[in-house]
């Protein structure tokens, strides 16, 4: 599959799958961002991406993200197929859960992207559901 992308800062790398078995590709921070304790910030990811029809782009943490002291509060971040205008640079929302300032460095690999095939539903309202109720959360043991 070919995906159209535009880099804002051409000195930073394109997204890349780091191994033959990788399903996620890394995004890089376009600028240094300082995140105060218990605060959020948006990290620009340097890319405008035309998500292919029938897919969504999911922005998810790298396994090293919590070691840095940040998390993605809306994880996974969902990018729609029609979000790719000239001003639609991808941004990652991060939350600093530490008591110290966290610095995201320019060029740092900050998250990964997953292209996930999706279906678009047509909703049909019914008067009654076919299955018997299961009784709530955690009912299978």
Mind listing the domains of the chain with CATH numbers? 5-13+24-117 (2.70.40.10)
Instruction: Give how far the C-alpha of residue 106 lies from the chain's centroid of Cα atoms, to the nearest Å.
Output: 18
Q: Which residue's entry shows tokens 């943490």?
A: 61
The strand pairing partners of 103, in sequence order, are 34
The neighbour count for residue 40, using CB atoms within 10 Å, is 15
CA 16 from chain centre, in angstroms, equals 15
Secondary structure element (H or E) that encloses residue 19, with its range: none
Residuewise pLDDT in 10s, the chain (141 residues): 999 999 999 999 999 899 999 999 999 999 999 999 999 999 999 999 999 999 999 999 998 889 999 999 998 899 999 999 999 999 999 999 999 999 999 999 999 999 999 998 999 999 998 887 766 666 555
Cα distance between residue 43 and residue 63, in whole Å = 18
Residue 76 preceded by cis peptide, ω within 30: yes
């Amino acid at each position: 599959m070919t995906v159209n992308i535009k880099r804002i800062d051409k000195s930073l790398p394109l997204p890349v799958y780091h191994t033959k078995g990788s399903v996620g590709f890394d995004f890089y921070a376009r600028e240094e961002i300082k995140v105060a304790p218990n605060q959020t910030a948006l990290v620009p990811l340097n890319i405008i991406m035309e998500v292919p029809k029938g897919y969504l782009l999911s922005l998810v943490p790298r396994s090293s993200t919590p070691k840095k002291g940040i998390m993605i509060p809306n994880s996974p971040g969902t990018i729609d197929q029609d979000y790719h205008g000239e001003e639609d640079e991808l941004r990652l929302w991060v939350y600093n859960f530490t008591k110290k300032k966290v610095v995201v460095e320019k060029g740092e690999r900050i998250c990964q992207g997953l292209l996930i095939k999706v279906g678009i539903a047509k909703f049909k309202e019914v008067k009654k559901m076919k299955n018997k109720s299961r009784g709530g959360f955690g009912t299978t043991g």
